[in-house]
Structure 1
Amino acid sequence: MTHWIGFAVEGLVSVLLLLTIIYCVMLNGQLRRLKADEHALKATIAELITATEIAERAIAGLKVTVRECDQNIGDRLRTAERFAADINRQIDAGNVVLNRLAKIVVAARPLTDPQPEEAEPEAPVSETKAMLAAAQAFAERSRARARGLAA
């Protein structure tokens, strides 16, 4: 019987040793796959670092472009504000000239029969046409004086 017990113990150790070898082979395969995944992960990380650096450079370039655009738009806005102010001054001056011309036209009209108070004033269109004609005549006289043709 002692032989049988020794046999049984040695058989059990052999089976356990066989199971250990199989388990080690499986672990070895998993370690190889893990190493392969590690290399792929390292390559992915390197690509990610490269892409991040490229993105950082692109962002820096965009920031510079935004600053330049902001400065350019600011300059243009200031120029446009100056032009708008100049145009407003010219419009005001034009209104003053137009008012003077209107006074000249009113003063230059021949006196006719006074209109009764109930009568409606002339339509603004005819008054505007009269002012336009007076302004054109005034401009022609000014041009003629400038050329030395008028008396």
Structure 2
Amino acid sequence: MSHSFGIVIESLVAVLLLLTIGYCMLLNTRLKRLKADEHSLKATIGELITATEIAERAIGGLKHTVRDVNENLGNQLTAAAQMSQQLKKHLAEGDNVIRRLSKIALAARPLSELEPVAPAAPRVSSAKAVAAAAQAFSERRRSDGLAA
């Protein structure tokens, strides 16, 4: 019996060795796959680092552009505010000129025009008279460019 007991133990050891060899082959294929995934992951990380650097440079450029646009916009807003003040001033001066022109036009009317006329003759409205006087006034210019 000692001889058959040794064969059983030897057979059991052989079966365990075969199972170990099979498991090692399975681990070897998994390790190869893991190595391939590692290389793929390294390539992906490299691309990600490159894309991050490009994005950082683009963000720096955008910050510089925003700074320039902000300065230009501030200058344009300042110029627009000054232009607005000038326009308000010119409008006020224009209103004064219109008021003076309307006074001149009213004073320059002959007395017969102020009296009621027959219904057959059309009457000129004061707005039309002021517009006509303003037109005549604007057509007369001094040599320095101001209205006479």
- Whether these two folds match at TM > 0.5 is yes
Once the two structures are superposed, residues 84-108 of structure 1 have per-residue CA deviations (whole angstroms, 9 ceiling, x without a partner) of 1101110010000100111111111
1-side partners of 2:11 and 2:77: how far apart?
95
State the match for 2:64 in structure 1: 64
2-side partners of 1:141 and 1:62: how far apart?
56
1-side partners of 2:106 and 2:78: how far apart?
42
2-side partners of 1:133 and 1:19: how far apart?
116
State the match for 1:105 in structure 2: 105
Q: From the superposition, tell whether residues 48 and 139 of structure 1 become closer, same or farther in structure 2 (CA, over 3 Å).
A: closer
State the match for 1:118 in structure 2: none
1:29-108 alignment runs, 5 A limit: 29-108=29-108
Structure with the bigger RCO (C-alpha within 8 Å, sep 6+) is: 1
2-side partners of 1:61 and 1:139: how far apart?
54
Question: TM-score, length-normalised on structure 1?
Answer: 0.82
Please tell me whether residue 126 in structure 1 is matched to residue 125 in structure 2. Answer: yes
- RMSD of the TM alignment (CA)? 2.2
Once the two structures are superposed, residues 64-97 of structure 1 have per-residue CA deviations (whole angstroms, 9 ceiling, x without a partner) of 1111111111111111111111011100100001
Ranges in structure 1 where 5+ consecutive residues have no aligned partner: 116-122
State the match for 2:16 in structure 1: 16
Question: TM-score, length-normalised on structure 2?
Answer: 0.83
State the match for 2:120 in structure 1: none
1-side partners of 2:106 and 2:18: how far apart?
125
Deviation at 1:2, TM superposition (A): 1.2
Ranges in structure 2 where 5+ consecutive residues have no aligned partner: 117-122
1-side partners of 2:139 and 2:108: how far apart?
17
